[in-house]
């Protein structure tokens, strides 16, 4: 007879094993992939769902991708119920059928035992091109999803171990780098195969019944912890607003409004009052919006809650149909995993900043940069690249300054900055600078992380760029009397020395050889009164080039001379306020 303590230990061992399986899947995906967006930026997530499609384990990859896996699996189950066999593999990317946006392709592999799907391994990853009218598939001027790329509903790619070549051909013939996409799909399939093999080992070590009972317990435990965390917050209605700069067609900011309703152990996130869907590609379909809402709520509730479907059960999300956050098919949605997903989270942060007290940070920078594409003159091959080295920074939080290179919120540092030298080998450009931008961090008792200045000189001819992003009008918000972060800024310098400021959303632009593109990303917002920041910390920021002496004086009330802090001058200046 197994004791209560042994049962607790056994469940903990199984839970840890599920997590390590998802980690092993991610390592396999990273190391076997071909494209830089997989192998270096690691723009992917892996997870495990149970036989009902409920997420039971995910790695700390890209949050906006990982939590969405449950939607994709449930779409597969809905379509193929009683038709799922051992050796099947499914593929999906349609945002209106369980996907995020078209470049994020999900591969789903069931583990079938005695004709019953017990688990589903999921890998969801961002591919460099999924077709559409613009290379890289970020079409800032798309007005419908059909202009953004190939839509893949939940469909079998492999049936009982046999590749359905017609499906693979249909997909690869509609993208610009077919061999790279196919290789990366095989990496996802391989990662899932490792996952199902490890799960099969786990079943043989314990039994299918034990695994089913344990995963049910894990979901129930997460639900219990979530309910407890909500109950610890005061009942009430809490309001937050955030804004998207524009949609690339009209210049007016677009409102995201949330009312967070807390009653006992229940939480509802109601987005009534959010603006209607727009013409451009900043709309966000139901999966992405719901996932972002869960991320924001669970962040406020604390880090000890497992990020699985048990926790999601307690958090109800209301997304009005026809709004920016639940548009009607076929509205374009490609930017949604960056903007407005991050702004959904930001709105929740601002709503819950009081009841969550010191758990929430100030605003993060928003992504704003180009995709670039053309024919590499060194090998005459077509390429598509992205400016992952232009990431913005995180906001300050109680007790700690914001981290640089953490933005946007929907990724929370999951996307890695590629190696500069590797980037120069892969694409026909040179990196002229890659450094922190002085005076970009939002001031606070705990300041935001500084933004980044990143300059590229292109020598391919011609090179084409497409601008996509946000945050040129709306800065990262501050909390607790801090100051907002800086805005994004992008400038093109032509070979004849003409400087051209670029908008955050632009149609393809052709560059001549020698053109220089400079991106200055946002610094995060500040948390707390900047005049309460320790003068020595301000001095260190001046020494490190994070802030100037002028900023130290005006924003922090700290007087800096050649030797360091002028204590008498600082005391006098701070006494004035």
Q: How much of the chain exceeds pLDDT 70, in percent? A: 99
Q: How confident is the model at residue 1 (pLDDT cuts 50, 70, 90)?
A: low
Nearest to 218 by CA among 303, 299, 297, 310: 310
Q: How confident is the model at residue 465 (pLDDT cuts 50, 70, 90)?
A: very high
List pLDDT tens digits, range 401-428.
Answer: 999 988 899 988 888 888 899 899 999 9
- In Å, what is the CA distance from 40 to each residue of 60, 194, 414, 416? 16, 21, 11, 7
What are residue 500's DSSP bridge partners? Answer: 492
The Cα 261–Cα 270 span in angstroms is 8
pLDDT confidence of residue 35: 87
pLDDT confidence of residue 462: 87
pLDDT confidence of residue 112: 97
pLDDT confidence of residue 60: 63
The Cα 183–Cα 35 span in angstroms is 9
The Cα 505–Cα 522 span in angstroms is 16
Query: Is-contact 238 262, C-beta < 8 A?
Result: yes
pLDDT at 314 over 70: yes
Nearest to 109 by CA among 81, 73, 75, 82: 73
Mean pLDDT of the residues in the chain: 95
The Cα 383–Cα 176 span in angstroms is 9
pLDDT at 206 over 60: yes
Can you tell me the mean pLDDT for 252-279?
A: 98
pLDDT confidence of residue 577: 62
pLDDT at 357 over 90: no
Nearest to 202 by CA among 70, 84, 48: 48
pLDDT confidence of residue 416: 85
Task: For residue 465, give the 3-state DSSP assignment.
Answer: strand
Q: How confident is the model at residue 250 (pLDDT cuts 50, 70, 90)?
A: very high
Give the pairing of strands 266-270 and 315-318: parallel
The Cα 480–Cα 188 span in angstroms is 44
Is this structure's pTM higher than 0.85? yes
Query: Is-contact 159 190, C-beta < 8 A?
Result: no
Half-sphere exposure of 218 (CA within 13 A, CB side): 29
pLDDT at 164 over 60: yes
Nearest to 22 by CA among 107, 121, 125: 121
Among the listed ranges 15-29, 34-48, 82-96, 124-138, which one has the minimum average pLDDT value? 34-48
Q: How confident is the model at residue 576 (pLDDT cuts 50, 70, 90)?
A: confident
pLDDT at 39 over 90: no
Can you tell me the mean pLDDT for 544-564?
A: 96
pLDDT at 95 over 70: yes
* Helix, strand, coil in percent for the chain, rounding step 5: 35, 25, 45
In the chain, the largest separation of any two C-alpha atoms, in whole Å, equals: 82
């Amino acid at each position: 007879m197994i004791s209560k303590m042994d049962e607790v230990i056994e469940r903990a061992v199984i839970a840890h094993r599920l997590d390590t399986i998802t980690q092993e899947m991610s390592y396999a995906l990273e190391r076997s992939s071909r494209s830089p967006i997989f192998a270096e930026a690691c723009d992917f997530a892996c997870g495990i769902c149970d036989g009902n499609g409920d997420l039971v384990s995910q790695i700390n990859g890209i949050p906006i991708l990982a939590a969405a896996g449950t939607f994709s699996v449930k779409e597969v189950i809905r379509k193929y119920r009683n038709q799922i066999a051992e050796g099947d593999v499914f593929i999906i990317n349609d945002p209106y059928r369980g996907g995020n946006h078209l470049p994020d392709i999900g591969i789903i592999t069931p583990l079938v035992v005695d004709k019953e799907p017990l688990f589903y391994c999921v890998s969801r990853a961002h591919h460099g091109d999924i077709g559409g009218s613009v290379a890289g598939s970020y079409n800032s001027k798309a007005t419908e999803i059909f202009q953004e790329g190939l839509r893949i509903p939940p469909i079998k790619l492999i049936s009982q171990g046999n590749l359905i070549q017609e499906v693979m051909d249909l997909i690869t013939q509609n993208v610009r780098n077919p061999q790279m996409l196919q290789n990366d799909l095989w990496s996802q399939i391989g990662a899932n195969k490792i996952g199902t093999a490890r799960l099969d080992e786990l079943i043989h070590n314990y039994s299918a019944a034990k695994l089913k009972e344990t995963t049910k317990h894990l979901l129930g435990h997460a639900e219990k912890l979530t309910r407890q965390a909500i109950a610890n917050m005061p009942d009430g209605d809490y309001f937050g607003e955030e804004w998207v700069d524009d949609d690339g067609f009209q210049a007016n900011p677009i409102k995201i409004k949330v009312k967070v309703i807390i009653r006992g152990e229940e939480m509802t996130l109601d987005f009534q009052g959010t603006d209607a869907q727009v013409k451009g590609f900043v709309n966000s379909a139901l999966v992405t919006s719901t996932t972002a809402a869960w991320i924001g709520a669970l962040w406020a509730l604390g880090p000890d809650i497992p990020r699985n479907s048990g926790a999601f059960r307690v958090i109800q999300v209301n997304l009005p149909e026809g709004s920016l956050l639940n548009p009607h098919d076929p509205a374009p949605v490609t930017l949604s995993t960056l903007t407005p997903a991050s702004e959904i989270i930001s709105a929740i942060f601002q709503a819950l900043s009081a009841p969550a007290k010191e758990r929430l940070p100030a605003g993060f920078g928003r992504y704003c940069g180009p995709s670039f594409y053309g024919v590499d003159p060194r090998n005459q091959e077509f390429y598509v690249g992205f400016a992952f080295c232009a990431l913005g920074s995180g906001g300050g939080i109680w007790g700690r300054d914001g981290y640089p290179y953490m933005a946007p919120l929907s990724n929370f540092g999951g996307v890695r900055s590629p190696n500069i030298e590797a980037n120069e080998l892969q694409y026909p450009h040179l990196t002229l600078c890659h450094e922190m931008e002085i005076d970009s961090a939002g001031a606070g008792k705990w300041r935001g992380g500084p933004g980044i200045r990143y300059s590229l000189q292109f020598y391919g001819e011609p090179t084409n760029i497409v601008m996509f992003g946000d945050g040129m009008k709306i800065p990262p918000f501050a909390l607790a009397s801090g100051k907002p972060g800086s805005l994004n800024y992008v400038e093109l310098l032509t070979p004849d020395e003409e400087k051209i400021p670029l908008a955050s959303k632009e149609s393809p632009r052709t560059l001549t050889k020698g053109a220089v593109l400079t991106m200055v990303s946002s610094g995060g917002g500040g948390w707390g009164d900047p005049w309460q920041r320790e003068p020595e910390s301000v001095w260190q920021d001046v020494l490190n080039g994070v802030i100037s002496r002028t900023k130290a004086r005006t924003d922090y009330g700290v007087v800096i001379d050649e030797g360091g802090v002028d204590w008498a001058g600082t005391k006098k200046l701070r006494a004035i306020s």
